[in-house]
Structure 1
Amino acid sequence: MASSSIGPSRDDVAGLCRVAQTPGISKPQLQNICVVNGLAKTGNKADLQRRIVNLIQDSERSQDIQRFNEIKASIYNNAPVQANAYRPFTNLANQSPLYSPAAPGPAHTNMAPNGYAANGYGGAGAVNAQRPYAQTFDFKRSPFYEIVARVGEVRTCDVMSQHRQTVNVHVRVADYPVLNHVNNDPSLKVMAFCAAGNTGVQEITFPWQSELKVNGGDIKANLRGLKNKPGSTRPADLTSHLRLKPPTYNNNVEFTYALTSKKFYFGIYVCRVTPIDQLVEKIQKSKRIAKDSVIHELTKKASDQDVVATSQNISLKDPLSYMRLVVPCRGLKCNHIQCFDATAYLQLQEQGPQWLCPICSNPAPFEHLAVDEYVKDILTNTPLSVEQVTIEPDGRWLLPSAQNEQKNQPQAETSFVDDDDLVAGNVSSRQSTAATPNRSAYQFSTPAQESSREGSSMPPRSTTSSKRPAAEVIDLTLSDDDEPRPVKRANTNQGNGFNGWAQ
């Protein structure tokens, strides 16, 4: 890999600046160059060219040869510049050995004459060797990988409306020395890309009916994505299926497709992948939504006389994984407080990139993700068992238990008084109507109770049956201990003339 301490020469920088300012480059081509390099694409041609020139000069000041090569790739891949229009341009083989292919051979005769198209970021060589830049394009940037070099030529997949068609790409380490680094660097992967166009910036799009094989073995990869949504799939990883030793081994990559109504363009690239945990760390260190700004927005909405401000509940669980939030984030254009977890969101985008907020469905690309410090403060100050909190219009937040205690405390006191009334008054009044004795009846009216039991137990049963609603009354003041069993003993011993309850 080229060291960042050895920057581009002044001649190279001056020559590339002249190329960027060539009058023959159209505005759409300049806009594509700006998009690839993360620049704004608004304004006239002069504005676009000025931004590109400033970017080239920035790479010289920072002595970043890799960044300079990427800018150079985007310019030559998007603009039909003649090969001799940039005489001071030196071959990348002298600047970046890691990303330089071997001398062009029969397997890759479609590369640019100066070897440039094989080295640029996202660059895809033209199919026609006589017009090396006529059908060049770049793939849309992704935070999960960065294209380092192209392996082999880009193949045109012609329209196949009825039959199947197979295109083959042969890969040998001897032809592409960059593959030597794949064995030693786990961050480098060999991946298959496909696009539905050959100009400008393209999304990854495979034919709906397609499959991949490497050396006869099937590649288990989802090439479809979401129907009619270009860019909703990812490149197929071929690394583990390639034989990189010995260097002369000829790997055969077969791409079979069918039922297409337009051309596709298939290519193989060496990419440097970025793990999700590093991307999450990058989000945490870059953009943040300040706690004070969230509170300010809440109070601003509450002060609006046309809006009735009420409290709202927010969940502390991620809407995708249903696990507790760890790194709460949301898009900068999202208007809601509810957050999603950064790791879960990136895992979903890695499988099928759509970059839409799972809460409001607004665009939430990686560059717009930010950590919400207001929700992060809530997570820090709440137990792991808490699943949601209530946000007040003034920005205060309450736990569900605290909110319920505030609302239910007066009701609990009233309920306690009602229970006392039921024991002391209501139940006794119902007992008198249902002829059900209370505790005082057992203490002071025992003879009457005794005489009623001496006769038969049926009269009370008939009395209660005549008033069926009264049978449902339950005396909460009685218990098993309050019904004296000696009454039954008195009935048993009555034949002997013994009365266990003396007057």
Structure 2
Amino acid sequence: MSSHLRNRGNTTRAELENLKRMLLPMRVLELQNLLAHAGMDKLGRKNELLDRCKQLIDTRGHEKGIQDRVMSLYRAANNGAALDHRNSVNPAGINAAGPGRTIPPQHPMPVPRYPNAPATNVAAGFFSQPQYGLQQGQAAFNAPAFTAQTGRPTIPNMPHRPDIVFKRLPFYEVIEELLQPRSLAPSNTGRIQSAHFKFIMTPKQASSISLSSYVTSTSQEWTNQAQLRFCTIPFKEGGKGISEEEKIRDDAFPSGLSVKVNGKLQSLPPLIPTNRQGVEPRRPPKPLDMTSITRLSPVVPNNIDVSWTQEFNTYYAMAIFLVKKLTAEDLIKKIKERGEEPAENVRKFVRSKLDDSDPDVLVAESLRASVLCRVSKRRMTLPIRAFPTCDHIQCFDAETYINMNEKRPKWKCPVCDKETPFDQIRICGLFMEILRSNPAGDEVEFYKDGSWAWVTPPAPVNSTGRSTSPVDEGFEEGNQESADKKKEGDADETIVILDSDDESMTSTKTETMTTPPPQPPAESIQPPPAPASRVESPMDNSGGPDSPEIICLSD
């Protein structure tokens, strides 16, 4: 028998199962590569290709070429490394040189590295279980990247309770923590991971949720809710500490997330489609309301089952909070309770923006701002902006901004697009002063001394609701004068008929043709011209009482 093949009886069942497990993280490309290497059909869906590869290992898993190819493809699937068949690694524990002999690996298998990772021994077997037991608050990840003796990948030891804080959401007021932040620790080296959590409510917590329920036209809702949130866990290379700002985490969903609460599937936000090749669609980060499937009992526990797809060097945590849901009116009330930013402070800000004391800096002579909201294009009723985050004088309307973020929470300034925390939003006292001065203006101009003036003074409004500016008055007077002169022209009109067959001229009424009416002023709109005189034939003389007189001129 060739030296590249080993005896089928020397390959144990456990070694073949290890090879099958190495197929799980492989993509379609790696599975097709393995089948093509073995001369088998590589067409079909991923589950079909995976079954075909498992059958290949059952029948030809004792061959060294198949083992080397599986190891090489596994390394490429986990690290994205190029396939290198010449430097393939034999899986540790598989006897490739005969009974009683072991060939050491040529180089250790590259696997994900973790900071502050001491080297430890790993028990025999390709997939080893992690050893937990870290103290609460430990922020570093302690896991070996690989062992120098066997070259086998290991599972990171993660803190059971990471030292993180979820970012505050303006529309939800946190009352209590039902379940403190917990790490989603991987339990094996596969891609699909799962974890189980359990919590019990106190009598006060259960009653506060049940008493806040109300019924809408479509479903039952709760003011107080049990809220489930996910986020990433930060870590530093080299075991460095994490700053306080980095401990505040935004919402983020793991890839391939699935959540079951007491055996019932929790609804998740729909995936956002993407056109980028090779990029998985993600879900919009937002908290999950699990109140409807939560047991509101101080005796019966709630069971949470989470499954997700493990990502390279990215780890997640989850927590459950008892929160009170707020409305847009509640947030606007909070803004009003903070009071107005003093108008004098805003004037100082305007003077600093227009300060021309430095000759090397070109400064504008004035600043212009609008009392129309940038989002709704309507006149502001409660002008707000972030103090001191926003470096501009322009404000936006509070009601429009709050309603916009209730539907899609971005919390960014519509003027400068900077992040605008809700805690920094205040009412601008200077803009409130401008709005109270004249409710009809649209645009104001600020000067170097902090004063302001309307760019175009609004025209007063008459009793009919129309503007009475001088231009409009001239236009109306010009139209009236043109209409009067048009009537006079119509009364003085004379029709003259020239007929060569008549030898006598009969005239019952002789009138002269009047001159055309004078044109209106140049600044007014030109009225339509008066109807021109027309020549009638003898057959058109109807002889009616209102018909004009006819003068016949003979040769």
**TM-score, structure 2 as length reference:** 0.46
- The CA deviation at 1:268 is 2.0
Match of 1:372, as an amino acid?
A: C
Q: Which residue of 2 aligns with 1:170?
A: 198
Q: Which residue of 2 aligns with 1:201?
A: 248
Please point out which of 203, 220, 225 is paired with 1:189.
225
Please point out which of 249, 260, 282 is paired with 2:311.
260
Distance 1:293 1:453, change over 3 A: farther
Distance 1:415 1:276, change over 3 A: closer
* Aligned equivalents of 1:418, 1:475: Cα separation in 2: 12
* Aligned equivalents of 1:490, 1:192: Cα separation in 2: 92
Could you tell me whether the CA contact under 8 Å between 1:312 and 1:391 is conserved in 2? yes
Q: Which residue of 1 aligns with 2:370?
A: 314
Instruction: Give the alignment of 1:218-257 within 5 angstroms.
Output: 218-222=265-269, 233-245=285-297, 247-257=298-308
Could you tell me whether the CA contact under 8 Å between 2:134 and 2:159 is conserved in 1? yes
Could you tell me whether the CA contact under 8 Å between 1:213 and 1:253 is conserved in 2? yes
- The CA deviation at 1:349 is 4.2
* Aligned equivalents of 1:390, 1:377: Cα separation in 2: 12
* Aligned equivalents of 2:379, 2:134: Cα separation in 1: 51
Please point out which of 345, 349, 355 is paired with 2:411.
355
Distance 1:352 1:155, change over 3 A: farther
Aligned residue pairs total: 340
Match of 1:325, as an amino acid?
A: M
Distance 1:381 1:132, change over 3 A: same
Match of 1:243, as an amino acid?
A: R
Distance 1:478 1:492, change over 3 A: closer
* 1:199-237 alpha-carbon deviations (Å, 9 max, x no partner): 633332221432333334443343879999x99833212
- The CA deviation at 1:258 is 2.0
* Aligned equivalents of 2:490, 2:371: Cα separation in 1: 53
Could you tell me whether the CA contact under 8 Å between 1:312 and 1:392 is conserved in 2? yes
Could you tell me whether the CA contact under 8 Å between 2:340 and 2:427 is conserved in 1? yes
* 1:238-277 alpha-carbon deviations (Å, 9 max, x no partner): 11221314x4444333323225222211232323444443
Distance 1:398 1:133, change over 3 A: same
1:281 is paired with a residue whose SS is helix
* Aligned equivalents of 2:133, 2:180: Cα separation in 1: 9
Q: Does 1:211 align with 2:258?
A: yes
Match of 2:303, as an amino acid?
A: N
Could you tell me whether the CA contact under 8 Å between 2:350 and 2:393 is conserved in 1? no
* 1:99-133 alpha-carbon deviations (Å, 9 max, x no partner): xxxxxxxxxx99999xxx9xxxxx99x99xx9988
Q: Which residue of 2 aligns with 1:389?
A: 443
1:325 is paired with a residue whose SS is coil
2:497 is paired with a residue whose SS is helix
Match of 2:226, as an amino acid?
A: V
CA RMSD of aligned residues (A): 5.6
The structure number with the bigger radius of gyration is: 2
Q: Does 1:368 align with 2:424?
A: yes
- The CA deviation at 1:328 is 1.8
* Aligned equivalents of 1:478, 1:131: Cα separation in 2: 94
Match of 2:382, as an amino acid?
A: V
Could you tell me whether the CA contact under 8 Å between 1:197 and 1:265 is conserved in 2? yes
Distance 1:214 1:282, change over 3 A: same
Match of 1:196, as an amino acid?
A: T
Distance 1:400 1:192, change over 3 A: farther
- The CA deviation at 1:369 is 0.8
For structure 2, the residue ranges without an aligned partner over 5 or more in a row are: 1-131, 143-156, 213-221, 235-241, 462-467, 503-526, 544-548
* Aligned equivalents of 1:264, 1:169: Cα separation in 2: 14
Match of 1:204, as an amino acid?
A: D
For structure 1, the residue ranges without an aligned partner over 5 or more in a row are: 1-108, 118-122, 428-437, 456-473, 494-498
Q: Which residue of 1 aligns with 2:184?
A: 156
* Aligned equivalents of 2:328, 2:184: Cα separation in 1: 33
Please point out which of 492, 497, 506 is paired with 1:450.
497
Distance 1:203 1:131, change over 3 A: closer
Q: Which residue of 1 aligns with 2:102?
A: none
Q: Which residue of 2 aligns with 1:47?
A: none
* Aligned equivalents of 1:380, 1:270: Cα separation in 2: 42
- The CA deviation at 1:396 is 1.9
Match of 1:388, as an amino acid?
A: D
Q: Which residue of 2 aligns with 1:64?
A: none
2:459 is paired with a residue whose SS is helix
- If each structure's helix is expressed as a fraction of its own residues, which one has the higher value? 1
